[in-house]
Structure 1
Amino acid sequence: MSTKSAIRDSIDRAATTVGSVWPLHSFVTANPLSGFEDQPFGEAVEQAAALLGGRGYPSAETFRTALQRGQIDPEILETELAEAGYEDDPAELLGRMADATDAPASETDTATEHVDQVLAKWLSAFLEEGSAHWPMPNRESGFYTAFRAVVEYDSDVPDAGVLEDLPETPIEAIETVLEPYPESQWVPIFEEQLAALPGWTGYIKQRAESGNEWQSAYPISLEGYLAARLALLDAVDADIEPAAGSLDTNGVDELAQAFLRAWEATYRADLVGTVAAESRSMADSDPSGRPDAQLVFCIDTRSEIIRRHIEAAGGYETRGYAGFFGIPMEYQGYDADVSVDSCPPILDAEHHVTDFPTDSDTRTRHDRWTGIREAATDVIESLETNAATAYGFVETTGSGYGLALAARTLVPERVYDLLGATEESVPNKQEFCEPLVHHQHEYAGDLPVGITTEEKVEYAATAFDLMGWEEFGRLVVFVGHASETTNNPYDASLDCGACAGNPGGPNARVLAAICNDPEVKTELREQGFEIPDDTVFLAGQHNTTTDEIELYDGNVPETHADDLEQLRGDLDTAREHAAAERAESMGSDGSASTRETERRAADWAEVRPEWGLAGNAGFVVGSRELTSDLDLDGRSFLHSYDWSTDPDGEALEAIMTGPMIVTQWINAQYYFSTVDNAVYGSGSKVTHNPVGNIGVYQGNGGDLMAGLPLQSLMAADDEPHHQPLRLSTVVHAPVERVTGILASHEELATLLDNDWLSLTVVDPTQDHHAFQYQSDLEWTPVSERPEADQPVPAAPVVADD
């Protein structure tokens, strides 16, 4: 292997230790330690701590609070501590843990810190996405070439070392700096340098892999980044020899692991016990008949709350399905400048879908009002970037502008009403646009425009198969979700994770259009889906901040007007109750709860408009009857699945290799952002400094923050709202079926073997007993049996042929 090939190979190997970071405008929750998932959790967090400096477990105070609140069962804790070799009182052990983790911070290398600041300056100038008035010159040639052209004019950089005559290619620059070091040190050197600014390098990694329009126009690579970084380090004479050894945890990690396992086991025992009990009850229950309407929500934890209240409002059935509704598409909305991927990051978009207008008069009214609003927005953006103009504007407009500012600040709920009234007078895009679903025999970039009939049938059939659908109501509503928030750089983190941080309404509309297609309906009936002639599919979007559900009902026939009116009324009722529950969780007394959620949506000073997925801890895969009578406190992802309609296990395989992986990503992001927000999160929103429409700094420079802000996780400075637990998955299916899936997917079994999440199966074919996955495809019967006088059968460890 040539030297250049060896360098590239070493960079690729080192890059696995850095998690991908998405831009804020399409924020994707992902495990910041994803590159370590091939290792046991304990080893992974220890290595990450040595490399990134981050803590891997909750603090002693967090464990103490959980114990005081009854979230950790004392008996379970005693067992876990004893098995780990600890016999002292938990309070004493927590004191020891607190003392050991209060070690003084290590000193920083000022030369390396200076290089970090210089790199952050040029990276932000190069990677910005249209917000800068003076972008970095020569960007179209790529980062390294552009950096090479400007660095000689940078007074913050000494003209020394390799910078005196910077080579034309990044590989040559890297090769020059690495000359004194043996090849065995290249990977450790690259790992440390990539970990020095993990936010920036994670973003570069993601953008280079995505190949989006910004990457195509202004390419950047980890190779080019490392060349610039190593050249700067060489110029300031910084030592790049990798540090030896690992972080000394003084045994604290082992103790923290025992407390964490006890906390997780306490939560899991309640969830599994309840699902097992409901599984037995289901076996004795009779079908409830055709529902008034059926609504399909994203598996998002926030859907659990609104689903519960909708079911209580009338004869409704709700289901859970991944919020992109199985349509791997790139979506371009009406009058949008760019298209966005509207599917999980683990999938590639396969179709280009755009909105096209169907009503010219309504379109004209919409465009006129939109043009006025866009002009006003342009004025405000100009003011934000030009202080002199801003002063003149405010002086000219005087009290009128001051009153507008005061209203925004003092009575945001009234501003919400005003904006709502204005929006009602402006035609909604859904009133005159429909998604271009039919196959157009043309391409947008590399993607076909629209979807063929065969593909439509496949997407609809897959959705019904995965959800175990057998009976259809008169109205079937696919409900995407989006958040509503003001002045919040992290607003995309509150949208649909299954849609790559975008609203899920477009995907819902596409699936509804597919299912209403007469050709598709005919083919589905031939495949065994008995869709009645009076079944109408429609879409909607759930506002997770206010719990309002907007229905896109323009194509619903007059024959279903009464059904639709009844549904609207019951959705309003459900909204009131769900909003009260959410408002209480945010610290409100529950009175005027709808107004409180609206205030949070409109208040530009509100750092916590909603909790998002904070609290997530469980993932239940099974029919709704398993959880419909339960208040899961908005902490569980819920995916509909009926084991009896999936004899070959294909539907369950798709859920476990898709949604289960995505929920683990989400869970890990929330976990690590909570246990060490300074390293894995993004600190306080109050001190955020947005950077080029792609991320935030803390302060005026340095690394791009990669995780969730404190306000998404903490009820107060010292009081976590999110309970940092690894995901507990509960599957309602024969255990041998699950074993067969794990045997066929090594990467999935590895996640479980390495304790990145847990898996429990409630087996309806074995008297509804529960089995806990251990490792190497082996299971242990859960000790709390439904009936103490009956023996728990041994779980098979291989799939039946």
Structure 2
Amino acid sequence: MSTESTIHDSIDTAATTVGSLWPIHSFVTANPLTGFEDQPFSEAVTQAADLLGGRGYPSAETFRAALQHGQIDPEILDAELSEAGYENDPEVLLDRMATATDASKSDSDTATDRVDQVLTKWLSTFLDEGSAHWSMPNREAGFYTAFRGVAEHDSEIPDEGIITDLPETPTAAIEAVLAPYPVSQWVPVFEEQLTALPGWTGLIKQRADDGGVWQSAYPISLAGYLAARLALLDAVGADIAPSNDSIDPDPAAELAGAFLRAWEATYRGDLVETVAAESQSLADSDKSGCPDAQMVFCIDTRSEIIRRHIEAAGDYETHGYAGFFGIPMEYQGYDTDVSVNACPPILDPQHHVTDVPTDDDTQASHDRLSGIRETADEIIETVEANAATAYGYVETAGSGYGLALAARTLVPGRVHDLFDAVDDSVPDEHEFCDPLVHHQHTYAGDLPVGLTTDEKVEYAATAFDLMGWETFSRLVVFTGHASETTNNPYDSSLDCGACAGNPGGPNARVLAKICNDDEVRAALRDRGFEIPEDTVFLAGEHNTTTDEVELYDSDVPESHAADLDQLRADLATARENAAAERAESMGADTSSGVTETERRAADWAETRPEWGLAGNAGFVVGPRELTSDVDLGGRAFLHSYDWSTDADGEALEAILTGPMVVTQWINTQYYFSTVDNAVYGSGSKVTHNPVGNVGVYQGNGGDLMTGLPLQSLMAADDDPYHQPLRLSTVIHAPVDRVNGVLAEHPELADLLDNNWLSLTVVDPTQDHRAFEYERDLEWSPVSDLSEAEATEPFAPAAAND
């Protein structure tokens, strides 16, 4: 193998220790320790602490608060502690944990601060995505070449070592610096250098892997980054030999693990008990009739709240489905220059879909009125981003603009009403555009424009299969979701994770258009889906900040006007009740829920417009009836699934390999951002400094922050609103069917074997008993059994039996 190949292979191996980081304008939640998922959780957090310095378990104070609030069952805790060999009182053990953790803290400066300072300066200018007024010279040639060009002019770089005459290629530079070191040390060297600035390297990793317009225009690679870094380290005379000193393992880790397992078991026990009880009730019920409307929401935990209130407002049936609605597409909105990936990051887009105007008069009205609004928005952005400009602009614009700024600061709720009124006067894109769904026999880049008829039929059938649908109402609404917030760099983290941090409305519109296609509906009937002639599919979008649900109803016939009016009225009622619940969760007055949520959406000083997915802890896969009579507190992802309509298990396989993996990513990012916000999160929004439209600094420079801000997780200092628990998945299906999927997908079994999440199955074919996954495809019964039976592992029949 050539030296160049060895270098690239070593970089690829070392890069697994760094999680990918998406640009903040399309924030994607992902496990920051995804490269360690092939190891048991306890070992992974220890190794990550060694490389990244992050804590892996909640603090003693967090456990103490959970115990005091009744979130940890004392009996379960005693059993976990006893099994781990601890016999002391929990309070004594928590004091011991706190003392041990405090003793292990250290704040040592590194010798590479100068290198980090120079690198972050040039990385921010090179990786900028449209916000910088002056960009790095020669960016189109790639980062390493551009860096070679500026290095000799940078007074902060010593005129020493290889930097004085950088080779033309990154690999040649790397080879020159690594010459004194044996090949066996290359991977450890690269690991330490890649984890030195995990935010920037995570962004480079994602951008290089994903491609896209910015990478195509201004390419960067991990090899190019490492070449620049190693050359700078050589210039300052730093020793790059792999360190033999590792951070001492957290002396409280084993004890913290026992507390964490007890906390998780307490939550999981209540959830499993609910599902098991409702499973029996579901078997005894006689489900008949058709609801007034069926609404499909994203599996997002925030949907649980609005779904519950919609069902209480009338005869409605709600379902959960991944918010990209099964369409792996690249979407380009009306009058936009770039496309976005509107599908989960674990999938590659398969189609290019764009909005095409269909109504000239409405389009003209939109263009005229939206231009005024966009100008106002640009002024606001300028004022927000540049304090000096703000003073000058207000002085020039006069007292009228000063009053506008004062209103935005002092009465943001009124401003929201004003902007709402303006928005209502501007036609929305969906009022004069249709998504170009029909196959065009053309390409946008590498993707075909539109979908063939067979593809349309397959996507619609897959959606109905996964949700177990057999009946259809007069109105069927696919409801995407988006957030509404002002002056928030993390706004995309509140949008649809299944759409890669973008709004889900476009995906909902595409699936609705597909399902209204006469040719598609005829093919679906041939496949056993008896869709009535009077069923109309339409799209909508749930504003998760204000709980307003907007219906895209331009194609709904007059024959359904009364149905639509009633649905709108009931959605307004549901919104009032859901907004009151959200307001209470944020410590606000519940009597003014809608007003409060609108204020938070419009207030440019509001650090917490909504809680997002904070609190997420469970994932329930099964019929809605299992949870429809239960308040899950917005803590559970809910995916509709009916095992009785999935004889071959293909729908279940799709859910476990797709949505379950994505929810685990979301869950682990919230977990790690909570347990160590300084390393895995992004600190306080108050001191954020957005950089290059790709991320944020804490303060005026340094590494990109990689996770969620404190305000998305904490009710107050040292008082987490998000309970840092690993995901508890509960599936309503025969246990042997679930086991068959795990046997076919060892990567899923590895996640479970390594304790990154838990899995419990409520088996309707075995008297609705619950079985908890242990490891190596073995299960233990956990309900309605004697103590002796509950300790015996259960191995279901082989998948092909």
Normalised-by-shorter TM-score class: over 0.9
Instruction: Tell me what 1:555 maps to.
Output: 555
The offset of 1:735, in angstroms, is 0.4
Asked if the contact 2:306–2:547 (Cα under 8 Å) also holds between the matched residues in 1, the reply is yes
Whole-Å Cα distance in 2 between the matches of residues 25 and 396 of structure 1? 31
Deviates more, 1:538-547 or 1:248-257: 248-257
Instruction: Give me the whole-angstrom Cα distance separating, in 2, the residues matched to 1:628 and 1:410.
Output: 40
Say if 1:19 and 1:35, in contact at 8 Å, map to a contact too. yes
Residue-by-residue CA offset, 1:479-523 (whole Å, 9 max, x unaligned): 000000000000000000000000000000000000000000000
Distance 1:66 1:352 in 2: 47
> Counterpart of 2:524 in 1: which secondary structure?
helix
The answer to whether the 8 Å contact 1:128/1:691 transfers is yes
Q: Deviations over 1:264-322 (max 9, x none)?
A: 00000000011000000111001141100000000000000000000001100000000
- The answer to whether structure 1 residue 278 and structure 2 residue 278 are counterparts is yes
Query: Equivalent residue for 1:498?
Result: 498
Q: How does 1:609-648 map to 2 (within 5 A)?
A: 609-648=609-648
Equivalent position of 1:186 in the other structure: 186
Once the two structures are superposed, what CA deviation does each residue of 1:338-377 show, in whole Å capped at 9, x if it has no partner? 1000000000000000001111001001101122233344
Counterpart position of 1:765: 765
Determine if contact 1:779/1:797 at 8 Å carries over to the other structure. Answer: no
Cα separation, 2, equivalents of 1:791 and 1:774: 11
- Return closer, same or farther for 1:190/1:784 CA change in 2, 3 Å cut-off: farther
User: Does the C-alpha gap of structure 1 residues 145 and 646 become closer, same or farther in structure 2, counting only changes over 3 Å?
Assistant: same
1:532 lines up with 2:532 in the alignment: yes
Instruction: Structure 2: give runs of 5+ residues left out of the alignment.
Output: none
3-state secondary structure, aligned to 2:111 = helix
Shift in alpha-carbon separation, 1:368–1:258, aligned structure 2, 3 A: same
Q: Are positions 1:175 and 2:158 aligned together?
A: no
Contact 1:47–1:246, Cα closer than 8 Å, also in 2: no
SS at match of 2:770: strand
Structure 1 residues 195, 388: CA separation in 2 closer, same or farther (over 3 Å shift)? closer
* 3-state SS of 2:296 partner: strand
- Cα distance 1:354–1:157, how it changes in 2: closer, same or farther (>3 A)? same
Counterparts in 2 of 1:195 and 1:787: CA distance versus 1, 3 Å:
closer
Q: Which residue pairs with 2:345 in the alignment?
A: 345
Counterpart-to-counterpart distance in 1, 2:122 and 2:248:
35
1:368 corresponds in structure 2 to 368
1:753 aligns with 753
Following the alignment from structure 2 to structure 1, what is the Cα–Cα distance between the partners of residues 456 and 341? 19
CA distance in 2, matches of 1:279, 1:790: 20
Match of 1:596 in 2: 596
1:129-177: CA deviation from partner (whole Å, max 9, x where unpaired): 1111100000000000000100111111101011111111110111111
Distance, in Å, in 2 between the alignment partners of 1:488 and 1:404 is 20
Q: Deviations over 1:75-95 (max 9, x none)?
A: 100010111111111101100
For 1:759 and 1:386, how far apart are their aligned partners in 2? 50
Task: Give distance in 2, aligned partners of 1:471 and 1:389.
Answer: 59
Identify the residue that residue 96 of structure 2 maps to in structure 1: 96
Show the counterpart of 1:775. 775
Per-residue CA deviation, residues 502-555 of structure 1 (Å, 9 max, x unaligned), is 000000000000000000000000000010001000000000000000000000
Q: Which whole-Å CA distance do the structure 2 matches of 1:594 and 1:380 have between them?
A: 25
CA distance in 1, matches of 2:683, 2:787: 48
Question: Do the aligned partners of 1:111 and 1:236 also contact (CA within 8 Å) in 2?
Answer: no
Task: Give the superposition deviation at 1:381.
Answer: 4.9
Q: Do the aligned partners of 1:778 and 1:797 also contact (CA within 8 Å) in 2?
A: no
Q: Is 1:577 equivalent to 2:589 in the alignment? A: no
Q: Which amino acid aligns with 1:654?
A: A
Aligned partner of 1:518 in structure 2 is 518
User: Which aligned pairs between 1:66-465 and structure 2 lie closer than 5 A?
Assistant: 66-103=66-103, 105-244=105-244, 246-249=246-249, 251-381=251-381, 390-465=390-465
Structure 2 counterpart of 1:78, which letter? D
Look up the equivalent residue of 1:625 and give its one-letter code: E
| Matching residue of 1:732 | 732
Q: Distance in 2 between matches of 1:376 and 1:388?
A: 18
Q: Point out where structure 1 has 5 or more consecutive residues left out of the alignment.
A: none
SS at match of 1:731: strand
For 2:104 and 2:683, locate their aligned partners in 1 and report how far apart those are by CA, in whole Å.
20
Cα distance between partner residues in 1 of 2:310 and 2:388: 52
- 2:56 maps to which residue? 56
Task: Mark the CA change 1:774 to 1:245 in structure 2 (over 3 Å): closer, same or farther.
Answer: farther
Percent of aligned positions with the same letter in both sequences? 78
Q: Secondary structure at the match of 1:101?
A: helix
Deviation at 1:424, TM superposition (A): 1.0
Normalised to the residue count of structure 1, the TM-score between the two structures is 0.98
Q: How far apart, CA to CA, are the structure 2 residues paired with 1:444 and 1:571?
A: 38
What SS is found at the alignment partner of 1:311?
helix
| Equivalent residues of 2:621, 2:732 under 8 A apart | yes
TM-superposed CA distance for 1:435, in Å, is: 0.5
Partner of 1:466: 466
Q: Give 2:81's aligned amino acid.
A: L
SS, match of residue 268 in structure 1: helix
Counterparts in 2 of 1:174 and 1:108: CA distance versus 1, 3 Å: farther
Moved more, 340-349 or 389-398: 389-398
The C-alpha deviation readout for 1:685-724, integer Å capped at 9, x for no partner, is 0000000101000011110001000000000011000000
Change over 3 Å in CA distance of 1:354–1:258 after alignment to 2 = same
Q: Distance in 2 between matches of 1:164 and 1:25?
A: 37
Supply the distance in 1 between the matched residues of 2:278 and 2:322 (Cα, whole angstroms).
Answer: 23
**Any conservation in 1 of the 2:50–2:247 contact (CA below 8 Å)?**
yes
What SS does the aligned partner of 1:102 have?
Answer: helix
Instruction: Give 1:108 shift.
Output: 3.7
Is the 1:541–1:549 contact (alpha carbons within 8 Å) kept by the matching residues of 2? yes
Q: Distance in 1 between matches of 2:609 and 2:214?
A: 30
- Call closer, same or farther: CA 1:495–1:141 in 2, change over 3 Å: same
Given the alignment of the two structures, is residue 713 of structure 1 paired with residue 710 of structure 2, yes or no?
A: no
Q: Do the aligned partners of 2:731 and 2:761 also contact (CA within 8 Å) in 1? A: yes
TM-score (norm 2): 0.98
The SS at the match of 1:349 is: coil
Query: What SS does the aligned partner of 2:331 have?
Result: strand
Q: Distance in 1 between matches of 2:775 and 2:12?
A: 30
Question: In the TM superposition, what is the alpha-carbon distance from 1:337 to its structure 2 partner?
Answer: 1.6
How far the C-alpha of 1:111 sits from its partner, in A, is 3.4
Counterpart residue number, 1:37: 37
Q: Does the 8 Å CA contact 2:769/2:784 hold for their aligned counterparts?
A: no
| Contact 1:771/1:795 (<8 A) preserved | no
Say whether the 8 Å CA contact 2:104–2:248 is kept in structure 1.
no
What are the residue-to-residue correspondences of 1:780-791 with 2, within 5 Å?
780-785=780-785
Judged with a 3 Å threshold, the aligned counterparts in structure 2 of structure 1 residues 768 and 675 are, in CA distance, closer, same or farther, namely same
Aligned to 1:482: 482
> Does the 8 A contact of 2:673 with 2:681 survive in 1?
yes
The verdict on how the C-alpha distance between 1:55 and 1:392 changes in structure 2, with shifts beyond 3 A counting, is closer
Give the 3 Å change call, closer, same or farther, for CA 218–250 of structure 1 in structure 2: closer
How many residue pairs are counted as aligned between the two chains?
801
The amino acid that maps onto 1:15 is A
